[in-house]
Amino acid sequence: MRFYIIALLMAIFLSSCLKQSIPDAMLDSKNSGGGKVTATLNYKINGNAVNLSVTDADNQITLPYYTLGCSKYPGYYNLSAITSSGETTFSFYTDTLTLGNYKYLGTYGDMFFIDNNNTAEYVHAPSDSMSVNITSYNNGHISGNFSGALTPMIDPNNNIFGDPGSVLITNGSFENVPVYY
């Protein structure tokens, strides 16, 4: 009995010497050593820069949407961002998100990607495409690059599109975007 009392007192004494609690230490290890993870999204749309940076990306307020995040849904993942110029979204149609290229062609049918200053941009025409590369998937965060040629929807009420491939997406990159399951 005396041994158990000594062991209990030692456990209490040693745990009081910890600099942080066990739950805090576990949360810090998720955030790469305790630092806040900054997620970024950058690209040019017809030469005009769009930049988004979210500090402490793992602890974003979720209502109504994440500012920058990738969420899992049944059968696909959706990377979405809300910027000052509009919305950006990439859907990855897979049950298991992996490193590699995800390419969307106009022959697959209309797919929304970017809202730029209230104009929705789609892969629509046969010559349109969007290529998204996931180059890194570490500690629940993805990074990669993207580019494409899109068609603007000029009249959503009548489903009228503008010039095919007239919206060029270049120098696209995203870093440390958290994946939410």
Residue range 158-173, pLDDT digits in tens: 999 999 999 999 999 9
Detail the DSSP E strand segments found in the chain: 39-45, 48-54, 68-73, 76-83, 86-92, 100-105, 111-116, 119-123, 129-138, 141-155, 160-161, 167-180
pLDDT value at residue 12: 52
pLDDT value at residue 5: 59
pLDDT value at residue 65: 75
Residue 133 has pLDDT above 50, yes or no: yes
Q: Please report, for the chain, the start and end positions of each structural domain, with discontinuous segments joined by +.
A: 31-180
Task: Enter the pTM of the model.
Answer: 0.79
Give the model confidence (pLDDT) of 23-74 as tens digits.
Answer: 333 344 444 445 799 999 999 999 999 999 999 999 987 666 789 999 999 9
